[in-house]
Amino acid sequence: MTSILETSVADCHPASVPDYIPVEQLRDLQLQRLRTVVTRAWQQVKLFRSRMDELGLTPDDIRSLEDIAKLPFTKKSDLRDTYPFGLFASPMKDVVRLHASSGTTGKPIVVAYTQEDVDVWTSVLVRALAGCGLHRGDIIQVAYGYGLFTGGLGAHYGAEGLGATVVPASGGHADRQIMLMRDFGVTAICCTPTYFLHLVDRAAELGVDLKKLPLRAGIFGAEPWTESIRWHIENQSNIKAFDIYGLSEIIGPGVSCECFRHEGLHIFEDHFYPEIVDPDSGAPLPDGCEGELVLTTLSKQAMPMIRYRTRDITRILPGKCECGRTLRRMDRIGRRSDDMLIIRGVNIFPSQVESALLQIDGTLPHYQILLTRKQGLDQMEVQIEVTPQMFNDKIGALQELHQKLQGALDRVLGIRVQVALVEAHTIERSEGKAVRVIDRRAS
């Protein structure tokens, strides 16, 4: 019971008030904001205007929240096609910030913020961090990259807005991160779960016991992760691990975040309206059904997103959260509709590989999936970095481990894959985000 009491005290940050507003009031607010944002996009964004025209729609056709389903979707390709500024709804003189994606699959995408957008972004992050039990007096290390990527600056503004002390470590330099955590008495860290796992390993190598540090919370996002990873992180470092979700196209981190119940992520739906749709047909699905998350920014000015297809597969959790927030919750993102791999006709998700690896003595080694094509047949190789825990000086023991991994992967995936044990630190890591799949089938 103490934890509930402690957290409700922590939740008393003034920014958190909208987390608890009555549902009817929230729906009214959403409808009012939806009508405003649709009008804004219709007036200012050529692409949106022409798509509305094609459907014979005007902003006046939005009379209820259900009417949102009439509106056209926005896709990632729309941002690329209108690169760099084609979807902006504010003149540049009102834009105070630009961010851009790293552009792994072609041109980057650019997103813009007015001062009010930055303020909204800060406020949702304050609410997210407060919901994780953080407050003024906490020392928060931001180990997301600072720069064009939204993670670093987003978390920074949120932590500062909360009144906490911010350590803007940015990404990389694991040894320095660990030194800062220890020497500054850092109580919370924001980074990707993969990067934190790396810090856990590195701290062990350096002889730093994370369990003895004041660190008590980690706010992890920017990539999907699993309950098994949470279990692993919490056991190795004695912290509480929280899942935060967001995407640059909508605002950056802070679209939704777990509260201390860890039963789904509360969507800050006074600013981001969620829908779940069938990923193939685009038809809306009721709460509780799994499908693709579609988000509409209700208050964004510089770059409103109407019905943005996130490609993330989740569901809206039915029922109320015991924390008392009226905000609906989404399930943790287990997969994306586009990270599904089809290998010799079988659907495979990288998260399945992860769960197979975790079956072997509970550790999660760094891994990568390499896809190639040999004589017209797809080949899948799972490369696994040998960890100190896995390594043994006896060949027989390594071969046994190899067979165990092979067996677990075959069982979980239902197809035969090659397993390769590789040396530690040889699989590429980019900006702390794990690159899980390399597909060389096309070349």
Partner 1 sequence: MKIQQISLFAENKPGHVASPSRLLAREGINIRALYLADTEKYGILRMIVTDWKKAAGLLEAQGFVVKVTEVLAVEVDDRPGGLADVLAALEGTGVNIEYMYAFPYVRGNQAILIFRFDDPDAALEHLQTAGINLLGSEELLKE
E strands along 133-239, which residues?
139-142, 165-167, 188-191, 217-220
Stretch touching partner 1 by CB under 8 A, among 79-87, 208-216, 241-249, 380-388: 380-388
Which residues between 177 and 206 bind partner 1 (CB under 8 A)?
Answer: 205
Stretch touching partner 1 by CB under 8 A, among 8-16, 29-37, 77-85, 392-400: 392-400
Q: Among residues 63, 93, 374, 394, which is the contact residue for partner 1, using CB under 8 A?
A: 394
Q: Among residues 26, 100, 179, 386, which is the contact residue for partner 1, using CB under 8 A?
A: 386
Q: How far is the CB of 173 from partner 1 (least distance, A)?
A: 15
CA distance 208 to 144: 21
Using CB under 8 A as the binding rule, whether residue 420 contacts partner 1 is answered as yes
Which among 357, 410, 409, 431 has a CA at the least distance from the CA of 387? 357
Q: Please report where in the chains the tokens 């009721």 appear, as a residue.
A: 286
Q: How far is the CB of 181 from partner 1 (least distance, A)?
A: 20
CA distance 140 to 137: 9
Which among 212, 163, 155 has a CA at the least distance from the CA of 189? 155
Contact 220, 196 (CB under 8 A): yes
Which among 34, 43, 42 has a CA at the least distance from the CA of 69? 34
Stretch touching partner 1 by CB under 8 A, among 53-61, 128-136, 260-268, 424-432: 424-432
Stretch touching partner 1 by CB under 8 A, among 23-31, 127-135, 372-380, 389-397: 389-397
Run of H or E including 309: strand 308-314
Own/partner long-range contacts of 205-212 (Cβ < 8 Å, ≥24 apart): 206/175, 206/178, 208/178, 208/182, 210/181, 210/236, 210/237, 210/238, 210/239, 211/237, 211/238
Which among 318, 247, 268 has a CA at the least distance from the CA of 29? 268
Contact 303, 98 (CB under 8 A): no
Q: How far is the CB of 429 from partner 1 (least distance, A)?
A: 12
Residue nearer to partner 1 on the CB measure, 200 or 421: 421
Q: How far is the CB of 380 from partner 1 (least distance, A)?
A: 16
Using CB under 8 A as the binding rule, whether residue 391 contacts partner 1 is answered as yes
Residue nearer to partner 1 on the CB measure, 261 or 402: 402
Contact 154, 246 (CB under 8 A): yes
E strands along 173-281, which residues?
188-191, 217-220, 240-247, 252-258, 265-267, 272-277
Q: How far is the CB of 174 from partner 1 (least distance, A)?
A: 11
Residue nearer to partner 1 on the CB measure, 200 or 422: 422
Residue nearer to partner 1 on the CB measure, 29 or 421: 421
Q: How far is the CB of 204 from partner 1 (least distance, A)?
A: 11
Using CB under 8 A as the binding rule, whether residue 388 contacts partner 1 is answered as yes
Using CB under 8 A as the binding rule, whether residue 360 contacts partner 1 is answered as no
Q: Pairing between strand 316-317 and 165-167?
A: unpaired
Using CB under 8 A as the binding rule, whether residue 421 contacts partner 1 is answered as yes
One-character DSSP codes across 343-407: ETTEEE-HHHHHHHHHHTTT----EEEEEEEETTEEEEEEEEEPPTTT--S-HHHHHHHHHHHHH
Q: How far is the CB of 433 from partner 1 (least distance, A)?
A: 20
Q: How far is the CB of 239 from partner 1 (least distance, A)?
A: 25
User: What's the helix, strand, coil split of the chain in %, to 5?
Assistant: 35, 25, 40
Q: How far is the CB of 393 from partner 1 (least distance, A)?
A: 4
Which among 233, 272, 223 has a CA at the least distance from the CA of 251? 272
Residues 205-244, one symbol each (x = binds partner 1 by CB under 8 A, - = not), give: x---------------------------------------
CA distance 16 to 131: 8
Q: How far is the CB of 111 from partner 1 (least distance, A)?
A: 36
Q: Among residues 106, 345, 393, 442, which is the contact residue for partner 1, using CB under 8 A?
A: 393
Torsion of CA 36, 38, 44, 45, to 10 degrees: 160
Which residues between 108 and 147 bind partner 1 (CB under 8 A)?
Answer: none
* Site size for partner 1 (CB under 8 A): 18
Contact 205, 229 (CB under 8 A): no
Using CB under 8 A as the binding rule, whether residue 424 contacts partner 1 is answered as yes
Residue nearer to partner 1 on the CB measure, 67 or 410: 410
Stretch touching partner 1 by CB under 8 A, among 37-45, 105-113, 259-267, 419-427: 419-427
Q: How far is the CB of 183 from partner 1 (least distance, A)?
A: 20
- Interface with partner 1 (CB under 8 A): 205, 386-388, 391-395, 398-399, 420-426
